[in-house]
A and B are shown apart, each in its own frame.
Chain A
Amino acid sequence: MASLKEGWRIQLRVIGALMIRELTTRFGRENIGFLWIMVEPLLFAGLVGIVWRFMKGPDEHGINVVAFVASGYIPLTMFRHSVGRAVGVFTANSSLMYHRQIKILDFIFVRVLIEVIGASMAYLFIGAVLVYFDFFPVPSDVGYLIYGWLTYALFTFSLCLILAPLSETSDVLEKFIPVTTYIMIPFSGTFNMVSWLSPKVRDIMLYSPPVNAMEMMRYGIFGDKVMPYYDAIYPNAVSLVCMLIGLILCRRIRRRLVVE
Chain B
Amino acid sequence: MIKCRNIYKSYPMGHGRKEVLRDVNLDIARGERLGFLGRNGAGKTTLIKLIGGVELPTAGRVSRQMSVSWPLGFGGGFQGSLTGYDNARFIARIYGRSYSELREFVEDFTELGRQLQMPVKTYSSGMKARLAFALSLAIEFDCYLIDEIILVGDQNFQRKCHYELFEKRGDRALVLASHSPEVIREYCDRALVLDRGNGTVYSNIEQALEVYSAL
A residues neighboring B (CB under 8 Å): 10, 13-14, 16-17, 20-21, 24-25, 95-102, 254-255, 257-260
Contact = CB atoms under 8 A, between A and B. Distances in A.
Contacts of A24: 82, 86
B2 interface: no
B52 A100 contact: yes
Contact of A98 (B11, B76, B86, B95): B76
28 contacts: A13-B94, A13-B96, A14-B94, A16-B93, A20-B90, A20-B93, A21-B79, A24-B86, A25-B79, A25-B81, A25-B82, A95-B78, A97-B54, A98-B54, A98-B77, A99-B77, A100-B52, A100-B53, A100-B70, A101-B94, A101-B95, A102-B94, A255-B56, A257-B55, A257-B56, A258-B55, A259-B54, A260-B76
B54 A17 contact: no
Contacts of B79: 21, 25, 95-96
A255 B60 CA distance: 12
Contacts of A102: 94
Nearest to B120: A95
Interchain residue pairs A-B with the least CB separation, the first 3: A98-B77, A17-B93, A98-B70
B71 interface: yes
Interface string B79-108: 111100010001101111000000000000
Nearest to A14: B94
B5 interface: no
Contacts of B71: 98
B168 to A, nearest CB: 24
A20 B90 CA distance: 8
B contact patch SS: loop
Interface of B: 11, 49, 52-56, 58, 68, 70-71, 76-82, 86, 90-91, 93-96
Contacts of A25: 79, 81-82
Given A16-B93, A20-B93, A24-B86, A254 B56 contact: yes
A84 to B, nearest CB: 19
Contacts of A257: 55-56
A258 B11 contact: yes
Contacts of A255: 56, 58
B90 A259 contact: no
Contacts of B56: 254-255, 257
A100 B68 CA distance: 9
B117 to A, nearest CB: 12
Given A13-B93, A255-B56, A259-B54, A95 B76 contact: yes
B90 A17 contact: yes
Contacts of A17: 90, 93-94
Contacts of B70: 98-100
Contacts of B91: 99
